Structure formats: C-alpha cells, structure tokens
C-alpha cells in the first residue's frame, strides 16, 4: 500500500492512505491489526481523512515497512477483522448528542413560547412514567425523584428549569450508554482477536491446522485443558466441559456423543471430537460481550455499598424537600432540594470507574472479569506463585536428551514431541519446539493420549505402553525400571536441570533435561510486591526440594513448598483465607486450576493452559511479571477513585441542598450544577487511572 507521510517527529508518524476515506470496518481493522504488533505502541486512525498516526518502538524503516506492506486482503489482516465496528458505534452516539444539543437550543430560537410549553409537557411524560414504574414496583428510586422534580417545575411554571433538567438527564443517559457500549465492545474485540491452532481429523490422522481454515462439517479434536474453538456437536469421545463463560455455572457438564458444545467453553477432563456447525459470525463475539456484561455484576464491595447508599438516600431527599416546604412555605426552596440527589451521580460514576479500569487494564494486556477481583487485588496481603512458567522462564528449553536404550536421542525426542504436542504446558511446548528446531517430523504414531494432571501423559506406541512425565508418575505410579547397564548414567544426570522421564513397555528410554531459568524480572517483581504491602509471598511447585530452594532463593522468596500436588496448593490457600488473609494465586497450568479457583483473585498467565485462563479471574500477558505490579497499582488507584467519587458526590450535593434550603440557589441553578457535576464526574471516571508516560 502506498502511503504519504504528512508529519513526522521522533518515533511518531502521521501518514495518509491512498483513498479518500475509510469505512468504519476498515478503520477498525487497521487499528486492531497495528495494535496487535509489538513494534507499534500507539495507533490513531482517522476514517474521514484516511489518515493514521502511529507511535512506534522500532527503527523508522521497519515502521514504514509495516504500513506499506499492509493490505486489507491479506489473510493475517482478515483474521484480525473486528466483528463489530467501535468507530461506527461512536459516530452514532456522537451524532445523537450533537442532534440533541442543536434541538435543545434551536427550539428557543424557532418555536414560540406556547409551543415550547406543549413540547416540554410531552417530553415530561416519559420521565413521569419512569417514576410511576418505580413506585409501582414498590421502590423509591432516582427515577421517581426526577419525575417529581420535573413535574414540580412545570406546575410552578418554571419551564426553563424543567427543560434543562430533562436535557441534562438525556445527555447523561446517552453518555453513560455510549461509554458503556464502547468500552464493552472494545474489550470484547480485544479478547476475540485470537488466532488459534486446532487438531483437524483427516483420512491420515490428526493434523494441526489454522482455525481460519476450518469449515462447517469438519471434525476437530479437543484435548483436556483446551478451549473448544467452534460451536459444534460431539461425534466421538466423552468429556467434562466447563461452561462458566456462557452459563456462569461453576460445575463442569458431561458431554458425550450427540451433545452440543459451544465456542469459548473448556474441556476439564477427557477428550472429544466435535463436528463443527459454526465457524464465524457474531456467536463468539456475543458470548464474550455477555461474559463482560456478567463481569460487571461482580461489583466490588465499595461499589455495591455506594449504590445501596444511593438508593437509601432518595427518600431522605423527599423528606428534606417536604420539611423545607413545611417550615418555609416556599415552593421554590422545596423544588431546589428536589433538583438534587445522590443516587444519579453514584450510580453513574461508580460503574463507569470500574468499567474504565477494566478497559485500562486491557490496554496493558491484563484481562479482568469483574470489579470484585480488582478490589481483592488491592486488599490482598498474600500472593502465591506457581514456579514453572510463572516465576521461571515462560519458554523453558530442552538442553539435552539422554538415551537409556538402543534408540537415538533424535528418535526419542521425536516420539516424546508426538505425545507432548497435544497438551498445553510450557514444558510440553519446550519438547515440541526442540523437535521442530531439529526438523524432526512427528506424524501421529500413537493411540489416544491420556493426560494425568500434575503427573504426565500415557499412551501406546507400536502396541507398547508409553508414558512421559514426572519421577513420581513414571517410576512410582507406573513401576518403570532402569536397565542395569544404564544405572550409572542415570545417577550422573546433572542436578541443574529439571528432568522429564520417557518410558516404553515398562523400561526407561530417555530423560529429557529441561533448562528452566528464572525470569530475569522475578526478583525485582518480588521486591516491588513487598514494597506494595504484600506480607506473604509464597512459591509452590511440584519440582524437587533442591530445585525449589534454588529458585526461591534467587527470587527473594522466603516461604516455598516443593513436591506439592494441585490439591496441596488449593489447601494452602483455603487455610490462609480461614486465617483472615486475602490471597492471590498466580499460575499457568492445568494443575494450578484448583488453586486459581480457591483464591480471592486467581491470575493466569496468558500463554498457559486454556482451563487455567477460563477459571482464573484475571489473565495477564506472559511477557513480563511486571504486569502483576501494575495490576496492584491500578487496583489501589481504582479503590482510591471510588472513595474520592463517593466523598465528592456526597459533599457537593449536600452543599447544593443546604444552599437550596437557605434560598441562596434557585431550582434552575441547582439542577444545572447537580446534573452538570454528575456528567463531569462520570467523564472524569472514564479517564485513565495511570497517566501514559
């Protein structure tokens, strides 16, 4: 694509594309594609002028190359095509607000006074009906207060005040609806733009294929711990499926032949083959939107407390207005009190604060499923880390394959990779990557592989039982033995690496030495977390005592537990919670799922197992553990904002009521200041908690 550079400063370009304007979908596609690239830090697309501004973290030539090589027709770009246009949504609401403003002020210049009176009375009907509905439901809410205030203004002949109140209420409602939909849609689009690999059933066996190449009617295998990528029907196998993202139910549901399964749900146990019935469209996107909408119901206690208080304060506003009229016999003063309420501002500012914080976290690669979990992170005093793939490097590597039979090291690695490629774990990926680097093709050569959580994998190769996994699983559970001539070689295995044991027909065939160095930022992150107020920082691992001790010491962690099972991690968290502690769990594997579920806030690494991400309350990018420090900071800032909003709303509106009772502020001014401050505070709540540096 040809581009024209219109303006340039250091690490920032504004370019014009070779077209008069972009459609909303094209603008969103370009925006999402560029945002997904690590070289691009910030993107702004102007659809009306076909301009794009980028801030980049690479050399200038590469940034220009990214733009010139872009094409809306490329496969990579089409895969990132948004299912709903955020820019189109914004344009609709922006035009609606501009139209409302023009009508509000234009009618004063065009319509005669008596026509405007009729107009205001007709408009008031909508708000009066809202109030009556609230009363009919047996509740005294802000809708009733608005209805009484507008009615009182019309009865007293103050049509200007009634018109201003209805105008500001309408603008406030539109702004709230706009920001809510925009934030939810933007977050949903970020979460839905994932290109996954799937296992396609072919005549020659299972083949790993891009999900974009799957068509309706194809058969796809979904292993334990993986997400179901498409809507479909089970045609083979049996599994327990976690459907929390769709139904909210925590218990897994049994799925067997003929049962319907849905995209976005996760296989907890077993393995199934599904016949795909839907590969595209709005189904997946709408499910993600639903999940985010549901997450907003997971309010923090501060947010819920503020909203409950808001509803409780409405009757007191009526009482204050009644007492004002009773003692002063002044209708104007009584109406001034009615023009002010706490509920409107509290119910608008608090949810928008949380939604904005969730959106801001998403900008940093952090997905949060509800305000309650941000509060838990802000108040937590204990954080528990899994070791492998969390504190240690996200991509461990194979250092060496040691043979204990007459087969070559490459052949043993090929067979091990054939088993490991089906399962989502950082060590499994290391084995598969090592085989790929050596060009070892590993076509399907085994029967169905069975994953045993926290232990390993069992299958059959050439009618011989094959197992790969931990020492406990291979030697103690499976009774594998070592040929006498290889015992010395086994005893001399280096202690500096983790060991993955591979056996066939009850005999040890290979030990794969896994180099799993600690992340370079782990020690710094642990130190920062201590500075942020965490009193207990714990590491738990299924590895040996020797390995655990070394990693804990390097990371600066004093409390660690080695050779633990999944239930041990969950048990520790439950005990800590019973002692009154608030606990965060950070993990990435299937075996971390019980602990992630038990914690006040479970944090999963994005590159980990699908089931871990499904169960976790928060998902962070696997690139850097600094995200946890940032998450804590954002959570504390959010709680501070909610407290500030609460104090500001209560104090400002109380002052307006007092001024109204004293007769120092007319109803029109009270209404303008109250509604104006509500909209202003709502907009302030949408600003970033952490300014961009």
DSSP string covering 413-450, please?
HHHHHHHHTTS--HHHHHHHHHHHHTT------BS--E
Residue 289 scores a pLDDT above 70: no
Arithmetic mean of pLDDT, 309-313: 70
Q: Which residues of 481-495 are buried (b: 16+ CB within 10 A; e: fewer)?
A: ebeeebeeeeeeeee
- Residue 19 structure tokens: 């077209």
What's the burial of 222, exposed, middle or buried (CB within 10 Å: 0-12/13-18/19+)? buried
Residue 75 scores a pLDDT above 50: no
Q: What pLDDT was estimated at residue 404?
A: 94
* Gyration radius from the chain CA atoms: 30
Arithmetic mean of pLDDT, 289-293: 59
Q: Sheet holding 583-587: strands in order across?
A: 366-368, 618-620, 601-605, 583-587, 382-386, 536-540, 559-561
Within 8 A by CB and 6+ apart from 617, the residues are: 368, 369, 370, 373, 376, 596, 599, 601, 602, 603
Main-chain phi, psi angles of 516, to 5 degrees = -130, 70
Q: What is the mean pLDDT of the chain?
A: 81
Q: What pLDDT was estimated at residue 391?
A: 85
- If you ran DSSP here, which 8-state letter would residue 484 be given? G
For the stretch 458-498, pLDDT in tens is: 888 888 899 998 888 899 888 999 999 999 999 888 877 77
Q: What pLDDT was estimated at residue 534?
A: 95
**What distance in Å separates the CA atoms of residue 493 and residue 488, rounded to the nearest whole number?**
9
For the stretch 487-511, pLDDT in tens is: 999 988 887 777 889 999 999 999 9
Arithmetic mean of pLDDT, 524-529: 94
Report the length, in residues, of the chain. Answer: 693
Main-chain phi, psi angles of 307, to 5 degrees = -70, -35
Predicted confidence band at 277 (pLDDT cuts at 50, 70, 90)? confident
Q: Residue 28, SS3?
A: helix
Q: What pLDDT was estimated at residue 562?
A: 86
Correct CATH for 397-515 of 1.10.3720.10, 3.90.226.10, 3.90.1150.10, 3.40.1110.10: 3.40.1110.10
Q: What pLDDT was estimated at residue 193?
A: 44
**What distance in Å separates the CA atoms of residue 682 and residue 348, rounded to the nearest whole number?**
6
Q: Specify the CATH number of the domain 197-293.
A: 2.70.150.10
- Intervals of CATH 3.40.50.1000 along the chain: 365-392+519-634
For the stretch 359-377, pLDDT in tens is: 888 878 888 877 888 989 9
**What distance in Å separates the CA atoms of residue 440 and residue 415, rounded to the nearest whole number?**
9
pLDDT greater at residue 181 or residue 550: 550
- Intervals of CATH 3.40.1110.10 along the chain: 397-515
Residue 295 scores a pLDDT above 60: no
Q: Hey, which residues does 46 pair with through a beta bridge? A: 51
**What distance in Å separates the CA atoms of residue 26 and residue 47, rounded to the nearest whole number?**
8
Contact 533, 552 (CB under 8 A): no
Residue 309 scores a pLDDT above 80: no
* H/E segment holding residue 12: strand 12-16
Q: What pLDDT was estimated at residue 447?
A: 55
**What distance in Å separates the CA atoms of residue 96 and residue 275, rounded to the nearest whole number?**
45
Predicted confidence band at 623 (pLDDT cuts at 50, 70, 90)? low
Within 8 A by CB and 6+ apart from 233, the residues are: 258, 259, 260, 261, 274, 275, 277
CATH architecture of the domain 365-392+519-634 equals 3-Layer(aba) Sandwich (3.40)
pLDDT greater at residue 668 or residue 420: 420
Residue 585 scores a pLDDT above 50: yes
Arithmetic mean of pLDDT, 10-22: 88
Instruction: Provide the CA 471 distance to its chain's centre, in angstroms.
Output: 36
- Intervals of CATH 2.70.150.10 along the chain: 197-293
Instruction: Residue 280: name the closest of 362, 364, 218 by CA.
Output: 218
Main-chain phi, psi angles of 68, to 5 degrees = -70, -30
The percentage of the chain sitting over the pLDDT mark of 90, rounded to a whole number, equals 18
Q: Hey, which residues does 267 pair with through a beta bridge? A: 241
Contact 157, 187 (CB under 8 A): no
Contact 220, 274 (CB under 8 A): yes
Arithmetic mean of pLDDT, 94-102: 88
- If you ran DSSP here, which 8-state letter would residue 35 be given? H
Q: What pLDDT was estimated at residue 637?
A: 94
The percentage of the chain sitting over the pLDDT mark of 70, rounded to a whole number, equals 84
Topology of domain 4-80, CATH: Alpha-Beta Plaits (3.30.70)
Residue 454 scores a pLDDT above 60: no
């Amino acid at each position: 694509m040809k581009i024209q550079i219109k303006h340039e400063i250091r690490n920032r370009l504004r370019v014009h594309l070779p077209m008069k304007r972009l459609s909303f979908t094209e603008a969103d596609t370009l925006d999402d594609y560029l945002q997904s690239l690590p070289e691009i830090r910030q993107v702004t697309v102007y659809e009306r002028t076909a301009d794009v501004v980028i801030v980049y973290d690479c050399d200038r030539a590469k940034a220009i190359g990214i733009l010139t090589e872009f094409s809306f027709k490329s496969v990579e770009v089409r895969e990132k095509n948004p299912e709903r246009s955020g820019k189109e949504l914004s344009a609709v609401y922006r035009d609606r607000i501009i139209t409302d403003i023009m009508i509000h002020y234009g009618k004063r210049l065009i319509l005669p006074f008596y026509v405007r009176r009729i107009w205001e009375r007709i408009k008031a009907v909508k708000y009066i009906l809202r109030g009556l509905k609230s009363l009919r439901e047996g509740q005294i809410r802000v809708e009733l207060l608005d209805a009484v205030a507008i009615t009182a203004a019309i009865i007293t002949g103050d049509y200007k005040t009634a018109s201003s109140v209805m105008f500001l209420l309408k603008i406030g409602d539109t702004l709230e609806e706009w920001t809510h939909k925009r934030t939810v849609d933007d977050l949903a689009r970020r979460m839905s733009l994932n290109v996954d690999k799937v296992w396609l059933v072919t005549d020659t066996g299972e083949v790993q294929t891009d999900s974009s190449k799957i068509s309706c009617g194809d058969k796809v295998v979904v292993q334990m711990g993986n997400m179901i990528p498409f809507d479909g029907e089970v045609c083979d196998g049996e599994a327990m499926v976690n459907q929390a993202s769709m139904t909210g139910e925590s218990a897994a549901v049994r799925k067997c032949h003929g049962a319907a399964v849905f995209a976005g749900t996760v296989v907890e146990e077993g393995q199934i083959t599904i016949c795909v019935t839907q590969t595209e469209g709005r189904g997946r996107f709408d499910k993600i939107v639903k999940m985010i909408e549901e997450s907003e119901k997971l309010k923090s206690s501060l947010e819920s407390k503020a909203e409950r208080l808001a509803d409780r304060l409405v009757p007191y506003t009526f009482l204050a207005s009644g007492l004002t009229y009773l003692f002063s016999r002044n209708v104007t003063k009584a109406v001034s009190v009615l023009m002010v309420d706490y509920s409107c501002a509290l119910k608008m500012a608090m949810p928008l604060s949380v939604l904005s914080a969730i959106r801001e976290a998403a900008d940093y690669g952090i997905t949060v499923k509800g305000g309650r979990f941000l509060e838990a992170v802000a108040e937590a005093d204990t954080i528990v880390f899994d070791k492998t793939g969390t504190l240690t490097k996200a991509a461990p590597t194979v250092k060496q394959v040691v043979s204990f039979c007459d087969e070559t090291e490459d052949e043993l690695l090929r067979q091990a990779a054939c088993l490991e490629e089906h399962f989502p774990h950082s060590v499994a990926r290391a084995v598969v990557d090592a085989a790929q680097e050596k060009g070892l093709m590993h076509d399907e050569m085994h029967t169905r592989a069975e994953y045993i959580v926290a232990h390993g994998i069992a299958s059959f190769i050439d009618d011989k039982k094959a197992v790969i996994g931990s020492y406990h699983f291979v030697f103690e559970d499976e009774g594998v033995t070592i040929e006498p001539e290889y015992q010395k070689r086994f005893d001399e295995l280096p202690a500096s690496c983790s060991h993955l044991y591979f056996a066939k027909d009850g005999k040890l065939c290979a030990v794969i030495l896994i180099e799993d160095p600690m992340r370079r930022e782990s020690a710094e992150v642990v130190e920062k977390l201590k500075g942020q107020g965490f009193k207990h920082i714990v590491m738990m691992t299924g590895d040996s005592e020797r390995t655990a001790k070394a990693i804990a010491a390097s990371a600066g962690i004093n409390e660690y537990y080695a050779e633990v099972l999944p239930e041990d991690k969950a048990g520790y968290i439950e005990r800590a919670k019973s002692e009154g502690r608030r606990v965060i769990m950070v993990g990435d594997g299937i075996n971390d799922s019980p602990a992630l579920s038990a914690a006040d806030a479970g944090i999963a690494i994005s590159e980990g197992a699908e089931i871990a991400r499904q169960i976790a309350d928060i998902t962070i990018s696997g690139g850097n553990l600094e995200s946890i420090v940032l998450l804590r900071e954002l959570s504390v800032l959010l709680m501070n904002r909610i407290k500030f909003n609460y104090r500001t709303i209560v104090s400002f509106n109380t002052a307006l009521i007092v001024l109204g009772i004293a007769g120092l502020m007319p109803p029109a001014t009270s209404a303008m200041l109250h509604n104006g401050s509500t909209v202003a505070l709502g907009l302030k709540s949408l600003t970033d908690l952490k300014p961009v540096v």
